[in-house]
Structure 1
Amino acid sequence: FEVVSGFALIAPIMIIGSLSLIDINNYQDGGIGSWIIWQQPLAFLLFGIGIFVETNRTPFDLLENETEIVAGYGTEYSGMRWGMFFIGEYANMFTASFLISLIFLGGFNPIWFIPGGLAILLKVSFLIFFFMWVRAAWPHVRPDQLMWLCWKVLMPLALINILITGLVLL
Structure 2
Amino acid sequence: MAAISEQKRNYMQLDHRDWVRWWNAVNDQEGRPDRNIDFHWADIFPIRTPMLLKAVLVEPKLVGPLFRACWESNLDMANDDILSKVISDAGYSGPEVLQQANEQKCKADLRARTAEAKEVGINGVPSYRVFRRKQAQGDGGWKQIGDIVWGQDLITDVEDYIAGWDGVTTAEAGARSISSKL
TM-score, with structure 2 as normaliser: 0.27
Which of 1 and 2 has greater Rg?
2
More strand by share: 2
Greater RCO structure (CA 8 Å; 6+ sep): 1
TM-score, with structure 1 as normaliser: 0.28
